[in-house]
Amino acid sequence: MRAVVQRVLNASVSVENQEVSRIGKGLLVLLGVENGDTVDDAKYLASKIAKLRIFEDEMGKMNLSALDVKGEVLLVSQFTLLGDARGQNRPGFIKAMEPEGANELYLTCCKYVEALGLPVSRGVFRANMQVSLVNNGPVTILLDSKKQF
C-alpha cells in the first residue's frame, strides 16, 4: 500500500462539478492499494498517517502530528500510485489491486485512521475526481507499507 501525504491548509474533492468532501488544516492522503496488501498494511499506514510528525511546533520544527494539532484527513483512493513507467512511457498498472478488494482495504484504512482519533473525509472510489489543495510548506511525504521508501 502506498500513500502520498501532503500537509495542507485546506483540501477538497469534487465529482462532476459537485464538491463531495472538504477539510481545513490537516492531511490530504492519496492512497494506492497493491496486489497482496492486507489489513495489516492498512493498519500500518493508518498509524503512520495519524502519527507522522510533519506539523511545526512552537519552535518551528516538524515535531507535531495531525493528532497533536487536531487536524483533519482527506483520504482519496488513487490506483495510479501503483503505476510503473520504468520501461515505457505509458504506465502499467498490473500491481494495482482489483477494484473490489482495493475499495475494501481503502475503507479499512479510513476506519483505522478514524479509530486513532482523526476525522476522515473521503473521495469517491472509482470516480473521476478533481482534487484541490493548498499544500502548506510545501510538505509532501511518501509512505509505503512494504517500506520500499
Q: Point out the residues that are catalytic.
A: 78-80
Q: Hunting for cell 510545501 — which residue is that?
A: 138
Distance CA 73, CA 120 (A): 5
With beta carbons less than 8 A apart as the criterion, state whether 4 and 142 touch: yes
Distance CA 69, CA 107 (A): 24
Decide: helix, strand or coil at residue 51: helix
With beta carbons less than 8 A apart as the criterion, state whether 105 and 41 touch: yes
* HSE, side-chain direction, 13 A CA sphere, residue 41: 22
